[in-house]
Amino acid sequence: KNEVEQSPQNLTAQEGEFITINCSYSVGISALHWLQQHPGGGIVSLFMLSSGKKKHGRLIATINIQEKHSSLHITASHPRDSAVYICAVLMDSNYQLIWGAGTKLIIKP
Amino acid sequence: ETGVTQTPRHLVMGMTNKKSLKCEQHLGHNAMYWYKQSAKKPLELMFVYNFKEQTENNSVPSRFSPECPNSSHLFLHLHTLQPEDSALYLCASSHDGSGNTIYFGEGSWLTVV
């Protein structure tokens, strides 16, 4: 079992839908990252959070430390949101990043 | 534009070739990383340099050889690679190695034939 599990692995939705991507982890962490990878390969950091909730535009990230779970939400989804969304956790023991396998999101017009 | 630039973006090399990937960051960061991303697998950390010193080598085969001449530049020297080494190689940087926000380059797509 991976230390960081993302679900779903693949998600296809219609433009305008509310999207939720989940990340569960099994190690002690000091922070969790959400990143976005477009088909060209480049990765962009979306959020780094250690508690509560952060919002940036149509993106919202939440984390529940007790339940070892985080969610990334996209409101009013758009085809340009199509990408792979990756969760990574920063271990509190050695500052190593453990990566999830990613969720491939396709938003259809 | 993330401030981390990788070249080349695409590279095709034979198993007997020697080539290098280059990464440059303009963010004033002190930590730089090489990651390998294979299809449908999580990113694999290969090397970490913190203040130009290599602090992490995740059991990477010796056919991959990193070089960090200064805190702004990172190279990955490649020789006698195998077809299974074909992947996306991503360079990243952060302020230091303690888990601050990481900034990634666009990646170098490597195909070994």
Task: Report pLDDT digits (tens) over A25-84.
Answer: 999 998 999 999 988 778 888 999 999 999 999 999 999 999 999 999 999 999 999 999
CB contact under 8 A, A43 and B40: no
Work out the minimum CA distance from A15 to partner chain B, whole angstroms.
25
**CB distance from A97 to chain B under 8 Å?**
yes
Q: Which residues of B touch A83 (CB under 8 A)?
A: none
* Full pLDDT tens readout for chain B, 113 residues: 679 999 999 999 999 899 999 999 999 999 999 999 988 788 888 999 988 788 777 789 999 999 999 989 999 999 999 999 999 999 999 988 776 788 999 899 999 99
Question: Which pLDDT score, from 0 to 100, does residue A106 have?
Answer: 97
Handedness of CA A85, A53, A74, A80 (dihedral sign): negative
CB contact under 8 A, B101 and A33: yes
Q: Of B24, B19, B28, B18, which is closest to residue B6 (Cα–Cα)? A: B24
Least CB–CB distance from B107: residue in A42, A86, A97: A42
Q: Which residues of B touch A100 (CB under 8 A)?
A: 42
CB contact under 8 A, A42 and B43: no
**Which bin fits A68, alpha (ψ -120 to 50), beta or left (φ > 0)?**
left
Q: How many CA atoms lie within 13 A of B104 on its CB side?
A: 26
Cα–Cα dist B56/A92, whole Å: 17
Work out the minimum CA distance from A53 to partner chain B, whole angstroms.
17
CB contact under 8 A, B109 and A90: no
Average pLDDT for A91-101: 83
